[in-house]
């Protein structure tokens, strides 16, 4: 990655799950990679997205994240995800509470 990365992405489907019609998601994201310090390369990320449906309410989602690359192939990540403007059930698989997600990733190329 260059020092600063900015992306614009769009995801669209003509047949969303559960017969809810078309769905579209538009995302704007950015990441900044800091200089390597010893064996670590830290970076910060952010994303904001807008999701809208033909048959359901629309909403906004966002996240901020911190990455720590190390030993050439490994990355430890921590992200905070949240949503806005979304009417959610009190519990269940589609509950909209904020979440913190941690990931440990290894990439090996041959």
Residue 65, helix vs strand vs coil: strand
Q: What is the pTM of this model?
A: 0.77
Q: Are 71 and 107 in contact, with CB atoms under 8 Å apart? A: no
Mind listing the pLDDT tens digit for each residue in 66-99?
A: 999 999 899 999 999 998 866 665 555 656 778 9
Domain count, the chain: 1
Please state, for a pLDDT cut of 90, what percent of the chain lies above it: 60
The β-bridge partners of 41 are 69
Residue 1, helix vs strand vs coil: coil
Domain that holds residue 67: 4-106
Mind listing the pLDDT tens digit for each residue in 28-37?
A: 999 999 999 9
Please give the structure tokens belonging to residue 99. 């979440």
């Amino acid at each position: 990655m260059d020092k600063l990365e900015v992306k614009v992405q769009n995801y669209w489907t003509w047949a969303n799950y559960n017969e809810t019609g078309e769905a579209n998601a538009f995302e704007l994201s950015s990441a900044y990679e800091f200089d390597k310090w010893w064996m670590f390369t830290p970076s910060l990320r952010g994303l904001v997205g807008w999701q809208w449906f033909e048959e359901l309410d629309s909403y906004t989602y966002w996240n901020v994240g911190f990455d720590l690359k190390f030993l050439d192939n490994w990355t430890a990540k921590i992200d905070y995800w949240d949503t806005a403007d979304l009417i959610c059930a009190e519990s269940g698989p589609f509950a909209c509470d904020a979440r913190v997600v941690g990931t440990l990733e290894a990439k090996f190329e041959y």
